[in-house]
């Protein structure tokens, strides 16, 4: 009888040892998923403009899955592969008339390639968002 009780106590200790970290990990995953759903997000597209290496860009800004109107937002850019060599000073993104949550700006780049856009949002909330974007290179050429 003593062996059965001590075996059950050992089994309970093992279950407790593994169950607690599992439950904590599950809670962290659920919390991270909810936090990510509440984050601000950008979705950017750019098309060539009149001048070489100049691109007309639009960005959709959302927060908590809703488009954000009248945001104060600047955008800068750098090349992750050469951050000190190729970086663009911040410019203001302006709201597109009649389209809630859409903003426009013109990027003048030094070269085509993989860029990281950096959005600094000052109103109606404060945030900094990073978005990778391949500009000026066909996806087929990679």
User: Are 4 and 57 contained in the same domain?
Assistant: no
User: Are 20 and 83 contained in the same domain?
Assistant: no
Q: Which domain holds residue 70?
A: 40-141
Q: What is the 3-state secondary structure (H, E, C) of the chain?
A: CHHHHHHHHHHHHHHHHHHHHHHHHHHHHHHHHHHHHCCEEEEEEEEECCCCCEEEEEEEEEECCEECCCCEEEEEEECCCCCCCCEEEEEEEEECCCCCCEEEEEEECCCCEEEEEEEEEEECCCEEEEEEEEECCCHHHC
Please report the pLDDT score of residue 35 as a whole number.
Answer: 44
CATH number at residue 115: 2.60.40.1930
Please report the pLDDT score of residue 26 as a whole number.
Answer: 47
User: Are 14 and 82 contained in the same domain?
Assistant: no
Q: Is the pLDDT of residue 120 over 60?
A: yes
pTM passes above 0.75: no
User: Are 83 and 22 contained in the same domain?
Assistant: no
Please report the pLDDT score of residue 11 as a whole number.
Answer: 55
User: Are 18 and 55 contained in the same domain?
Assistant: no
- Count how many domains the chain has: 2
Q: Mean pLDDT in the chain? A: 81
User: Are 18 and 52 contained in the same domain?
Assistant: no
Top-confidence range, 12-16, 49-53, 56-60: 56-60
Q: Is the pLDDT of residue 66 over 80?
A: yes
User: Are 15 and 69 contained in the same domain?
Assistant: no
User: Are 72 and 55 contained in the same domain?
Assistant: yes
User: Are 10 and 48 contained in the same domain?
Assistant: no
Please report the pLDDT score of residue 82 as a whole number.
Answer: 86
């Amino acid at each position: 009888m003593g062996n059965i009780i001590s075996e059950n106590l050992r089994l309970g200790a093992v279950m407790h040892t593994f169950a607690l970290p599992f439950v904590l990990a599950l809670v962290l995953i659920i919390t991270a998923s909810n936090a990510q759903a509440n984050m601000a997000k950008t979705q950017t597209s750019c098309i060539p403009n009149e001048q070489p290496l100049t691109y007309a860009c639009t960005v959709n800004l959302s927060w908590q899955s809703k488009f954000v109107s009248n945001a104060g937002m600047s955008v800068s850019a750098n090349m992750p592969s050469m951050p000190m060599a190729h970086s663009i000073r911040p410019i203001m993104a302006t709201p597109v008339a009649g389209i809630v949550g859409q903003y426009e700006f013109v990027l003048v780049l030094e070269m085509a390639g993989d860029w990281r856009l950096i959005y600094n949002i000052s109103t109606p909330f404060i945030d900094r968002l990073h978005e990778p974007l391949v500009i000026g290179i066909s996806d087929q050429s990679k």
